[in-house]
Amino acid sequence: MPPQRPWWLPRRNHVILTSQFLHGEQVAKSACETLLPLLPEGPFRQAMATQIADEARHVEAYARYLARIGDIAPPRPLLVQALGHIQDWRGSAVGLVLATHVVLESEALAIQQELARDFPCPVMQQISRLSARDEGRHLALGRVLLHAAALQAQQIEVRLELHRRLRCLWRDCAAAAAADHGLAFARAAPEARLETGWRRLQARFRRVGLIGAGEDSLFAEASA
């Protein structure tokens, strides 16, 4: 079955939009490759190697889709910047796990669910369904790694600094996603959509122990 471009989407925008999915998967793969050597030998590292293979498969699937369209667009500068934040990451592995498995994965999953719902190309929907199944497993690996890191036992200063850096990373990813949304639906993503995304991420930060009980206002103040 050939790719089907939605009637309301100009060809150029179709190419730019689907190319961002390819580049997004490449960012996920590179981020995991940066994280791999920081993990201890054993099951965690093996699970991460499996994830890298999954991400390579996702890159392949989008590359095949674009080859059938017969064109490809470069990554958005914001996406390149997001990858830069990750590749330049210094410090503990836990920060990188938060960056890759909480910020990147959860943003990617949200975009993919939106796409599966609104993008009426059966080939694209099949790719996003298959990769969403893997992404669910990747999120679970992130939860296990973060549980092992006992984030809540870290000093508040350390967690505030991590939170600040993760906010910068999220801002770039969210702005790139908002631009893609504007391209697909011919309108800019509403402010409320960004706010919802940030609130969703804060809730995840609370669940993994980056933000402790009773610390909400402290973290909100620091990121204002």
Residues that bind Fe ion (CB under 5 A): 25, 28, 55, 58, 135, 138
Q: Which two tokens stand for residue 6?
A: 């939605």
Other C-beta atoms closer than 10 Å to the C-beta of 2 total 9
Q: Rounded to an integer, what is the distance from CA 114 to the centroid of its chain?
A: 14
Using the minimum distance from each CB to Fe ion, give the nearer residue, 138 or 159. Answer: 138
Query: Which CB sits closer to Fe ion, 131 or 159?
Result: 131
Smallest separation, CB 21 to Fe ion (Å): 9
CB of 39 to Fe ion, least distance (A): 16
- Closer residue to Fe ion (CB): 13 or 128: 128
Nearest CB to Fe ion, comparing residues 55 and 172: 55
Q: Is the CA virtual torsion 141, 205, 99, 72 positive or negative?
A: positive
Query: CB 109 → Fe ion: shortest distance, Å?
Result: 8
Q: How many helices (H) and strands (E) does the chain have?
A: 9, 0
Eight-class DSSP state of 214 = T
Least distance in angstroms from the C-beta of 23 to Fe ion: 12
Q: Is the dihedral of CA 44, 31, 35, 206 positive or negative?
A: negative
Is 75 in contact with 173 (CB distance < 8 Å)?
no
Q: How far is the CB of 59 from Fe ion (least distance, A)?
A: 8
- Nearest distance, CB of residue 49 and Fe ion, angstroms: 13
DSSP codes of every residue in 3-68: ----TTS-HHHHHHHHHHHHHHHHHHHHHHHHHGGGSPTTHHHHHHHHHHHHHHHHHHHHHHHHHH
* Residue number with CB closer to Fe ion (143 or 215): 143
Give me the phi and psi of 51, to 5 degrees please: -65, -40
Residue with Cβ nearer Fe ion (25 or 180): 25
